[in-house]
Structures are given as structure tokens and as C-alpha cells.
Amino acid sequence: MAAKERDGSQRGTLRRGGDQPNRIIGPAVHEAINRGFVVGREVLIGTIPGIVVGYNIASFGRFVGNVYPLVVRTALGVTKCGMDEVSLA
């Protein structure tokens, strides 16, 4: 038998209500695309080159998608980035 969630919600469901202002992911991803941060685009994180490999759609955790919408692969590994942290190469 699986353990119950502490708040009573079922696992895998998203609670609705006013407590989710940080869970709106779509507009951040669309803004990144409109600014030219498309998959396959070369970018710089400071001076470190990388390639956009996807978009972060996480709605919980430390690196939510509305703040860190870009997923970038560098020689140092894969990271989630905000648009203010990267520049187009």
C-alpha cells in the first residue's frame, strides 16, 4: 500500500486554486522561443558555450519552468537556465 500525501491530494494531480502563481509555464516557454532560444540554438552561459536541448516544464521544485524555462547542454553537463542567464551565440 502506497503512502498517502500529507495534504490529502492524490499523487500526480495538480491542485487548483490561488496558491499556484509560480506554476504558469507556457508563457515563459513561449517568450523564450520568441526571443530566439529554440531547440538546437547555440547559446552562451556567461562564457561557456552550450546548445538549447529543450524546455523546462517543471511546476514544482527548486527550478520551476516559469523562472528557468531553458534546458541547455554544455561540456559541463545539462542545466536549467533563465533567459537572463544566457545569450545567443
Which cell numbers hold the place of 5?
A: 500525501
Model pLDDT, residue 14: 46
Which cell numbers hold the place of 36?
A: 530566439
pTM beyond 0.85, yes or no: no
CA-CA-CA-CA dihedral for 7, 23, 52, 88, to nearest 10: -140
Query: Within 10 A of 22 (CB to CB), how many other CB atoms are there?
Result: 12
pLDDT at 20 over 70: no
Number of domains in the chain: 1
In a domain? residue 12: no
DSSP code at position 4: P
Query: Edge-to-edge strand order for the sheet containing 86-88?
Result: 77-81, 70-74, 48-55, 42-45, 86-88
Higher pLDDT, 6 or 70: 70
In a domain? residue 36: yes
In a domain? residue 10: no
